[in-house]
Structure 1
């Protein structure tokens, strides 16, 4: 189940479920796109509980990133497990969407850790 943890001004933090796969990725994406349509400019995906992420989930995250780009917004992925950080890096996605070590770091816009493959700031102030 997708849970909206924090909503403040144009920033929303959403905690992803333990599994993000073919069965639920499109529903998660649709709910997040609704948040974007409602004015969310910075969407933080809290992946701290994600234990399984398949290609459908990865595609959904990339699609959300593009949707936010089209609305002059920012997607920030936070607290991805070490295993999936390695997968993220192997897929070359760290330059497209860096992974933040914590939700707090994502809210601050500080990229550090294994998936910080880019020096480009994500702040769009």
Structure 2
């Protein structure tokens, strides 16, 4: 299950489990939705412990991005392994939701570059 690492002001940092797949994706998604419903404008997913991520897990992350976008919130993905960053790029998801190298970088960095351009072109700013 997800673990809340930090909840401060309008920012929540959540550490994802080592596996985000068909077996737990709906539970992880429900818990993240519950946390975003409690308020806060910035939600950081710490993927530093993720060892396995399948299409169900990716779908949960995209659904969470959409839910936050509808609430004028921001989702940031941090510390995704090199392998899954490559998958993320191959799927073209880096244009919607860029991956930050660390949680600290995600906390500091505004949505800039390709992610901002893609969000703007889709009307998601």
Structure 1 and Structure 2 fold alike (TM over 0.5): yes
Look up the SS of the partner of 2:94 in the other structure.
coil
Gaps of 5+ in 1: none
Shift of 1:110: 5.7
Residue in 2 that maps onto 1:32: 32
Q: Does 1:12 align with 2:8?
A: no
Q: Which has the higher helix share?
A: 2
How many residues align? The count is 118
Shift of 1:40: 2.3
TM-score by length of 2: 0.88
C-alpha separation in 2, matches of 1:55 and 1:117 = 26
Query: Deviation digits for residues 75-98 of structure 1, max 9, x if unmatched?
Result: 000000000000000000000100
- In 1, are the aligned partners of 2:94 and 2:115 still within 8 Å (CA)? no
Residue in 1 that maps onto 2:94: 94
- In 2, are the aligned partners of 1:77 and 1:99 still within 8 Å (CA)? yes
Shift of 1:120: 2.8
